[in-house]
Structure 1
Amino acid sequence: MHNSTGVIIPESHANDVKNFGFSSPIHITSEIGKLRSVILKRPGREIENLTPDTMSRLLFDDIPYLPIAQKEHDYFAQTLKDNGAEVLYLENLAADSLNEGEIKNEFVERMLQESGFKDGLTYSALKEYLLAMEPLQMVNTIMEGIRKTDIDLNCKDLRLLSEDADYPFLLDPMPNLYFTRDPAAAIGEGLSINHMTYAARRRESLFMEYIINHNPRFANQGVQVWRNRNHATRIEGGDELVLSDHVMAIGISQRTSADALEDIARNLFSNSNYDTVVGIKIPHNHAMMHLDTVFTMINYNQFTVHPQIMNGGKIDMWILHPGQDGRITSEHRTDLLEVLKEVLHQSELDLIPTGNSDPIVAPREQWNDGSNTLAIAPGEVVTYDRNYVSNEMLREHGILVHEVISSELSRGRGGPRCMSMPIIREDLETN
């Protein structure tokens, strides 16, 4: 199968379900268990629909060069495959969810409504334009964005003449989609389908809602939805870390609110084996937008950490547990090392600083996602090659590092963990 750029993408095999011995198509009980199945999104023409005038609106600081970004992403995907992971592509999973006419029609209506079109001439023209396409072409078109010049309106829509008359798009492109971590996050045998912070990204999680409800691999398979996207409060997958089969860490960040954290905790406590959620407050800024940009788990007792969040060894945290009558208990703490030892039952921990804590190297490599490592097995990670100081630190601490090329992918402000949504990992052996 060829995608819109003419490059071969593997066919999806919706009915060739690989649960790797687990009863559910989603099984994530740690950050570090052997990675068996993962969802990626290869960068497409949505990247080329970025312009200097739209970068800020679409949450980009630069414009990646698409051909090189695709080669880098293919290298990343092949690295995961070479190390035993099944790679699924978001666009194929979404297309396989929309084969029935009624479902396809409903999806288009909801996508248009969430794009700001509830009725009128443009709504009708867009709906007709999209429904005439086969599902995969339609999904790719929505992801890439629809320009005003793509549709021939029989008569002028007055709204287009008066509102954003010079803006080129009817439907904005979704260039952030190659960061599949954020719209949804797998936890145990379920997931959160997230209400994202900025309007530029909120439509992204609609794809996952339809995949879970209608793709043959996931539909009617008992997948729990710990929190759906129909909320006002915000949460994104980069802030959700599965530390063990009963402990979660969730960042309170620029992209995730304390209210959303409590909602996830309440649902997990009521309907799963999870009994501990650690809320970790990080600075609310663009350089540290998610918890996984400053802190990731890479082994039973090893973590990457950006030194600037430590504040002399202290950071605001809250340990949540289930209380009586459905209530949640909360305890404020400030010593990250001691909290992690306690909740993970480890006597010693190794916090590996980004950039070796150098005052120049650390912020530079953190900006290039030096802390955003993707564990593919205990003590084995995928990182960007550009963060060579952090990578050498990892090796000195006994970590097996697979470097992937990163000159263009990194311009989107996300690393290997951001670019991946693991859905199946092997359970950890008792350490």
Structure 2
Amino acid sequence: MTTQAIMVAAPRSGGGKTTLTLALLAAFGRRGLRVGAVKTGPDYIDPAFHAAITGRPGLNLDSWCMPSNLLHRVMQAACQDVDILVVESAMGLFDGLSLSDGQRGAPSDIAAFFGIPVLLVLDMSGQGQSVGPVAKGFAQWSPHVQVNGVVLNRVASARHERLGREAVMAADLPVYGALMRQGGQTLPERHLGLVQAREHGDLPGWLADLADKAERELDLDGILAAARPIRTQPVEYGAAGLLPPPGQRIAVADDAAFSFLYGHLALFWRQAGAELVPFSPLADERPDPSCTACWLPGGYPELHAEQLAAAETFRTGLAQFAQTRPVHGECGGFMVLGQVLEDAQGAHHRMAGLLGHSTSFARRKLNLGYREATLVKDGVLGARGAHLRGHEFHYATVVDGGADAPLASLRSGIGEELGFCGGQRGFVSGSFFHVLATVPE
């Protein structure tokens, strides 16, 4: 069966995209369909929820970070053995950088690139018939993006639903259901987004309730009929843009403090022949000494700083590993490689001490945006002068930069020079920068 796809999008963040996406995945899976999901943009939390439902890697598609061949390669992986693929957009449907369409990092780029029809979720909080003009404007904004229908969200009553439904239908768009405002359906959040899927005690029960809600309140048959076959093309195995595995056997920190490893990196590293060996710093585990590299992903070390500081076996084992083999930390992993981490209450906690910087979550400043990194010298991420694309998203700040050599120079998504980032010393490197892809020569 050819994979059918539909994109769940909205005019803005916080409009209900994740709730609708999870409801569709749960309900379609209950019907016996093989479900898959992918997230546009560089978000790493929502794909973990997708993976929890589908049993498949959580994957990302990003039109600014990824060259076209890599987009096709990720999409092929997302569609393998899948009947219906739900693509969850980031931000608003047309939100992205102020660059040319197709390269902006906007969800609309992905919809146009693969010919994916859009299911627009409209939050009716505080409005009635005004959802009609909003729907019509989104449907007519771009000839390359097809809005196939609407789901109304946070609807207060039958009368409220009727007002919204009539207005959207007057805009010549079908309405595929209305999710009624209801307590107990909201996922908890924290400073980087939703609380992680692995931290929910009864996620299966919550998803079952969500599937029930979808069956009651959505036209699931209509949504399936609105989906269309994916427009993709074969790509050779070594597609441009892939970050090579950092080693043949990679020790990967994996627990509530270290969970932001992109699914496409892990998947393609394994396909390239690498083995990923998980370990838990929070459980005071050391990286497996038989590994040839160690990767500390981002996550929430600021919430577990006291426990990490007490993990003597982890710190000692990591230091021994780093004497002879590469250790790289991204964002939260970079924080743990430093000297000290100051938590939200101002308490200072000793970290691994393999790099000279110290960070603080008490002195917060939002850093968010696309980044292109140019490596300063040869290292685990590539050769000197290599260009990588990814993003930063953190509130922690560097309060003492230390004396290590920088890892890379940074530019913003629109080419602004941002200076040097990160640090490297011996076999150890790290920065707040999350890498998604390499820039082809």
Tell me the TM-score range normalised by the shorter chain: 0.3 to 0.5
Between structures 1 and 2, the one with greater strand share: 2
Between structures 1 and 2, the one with greater helix share: 1
Bigger-Rg structure (1/2): 2
TM-score by length of 2: 0.34
TM-score by length of 1: 0.34
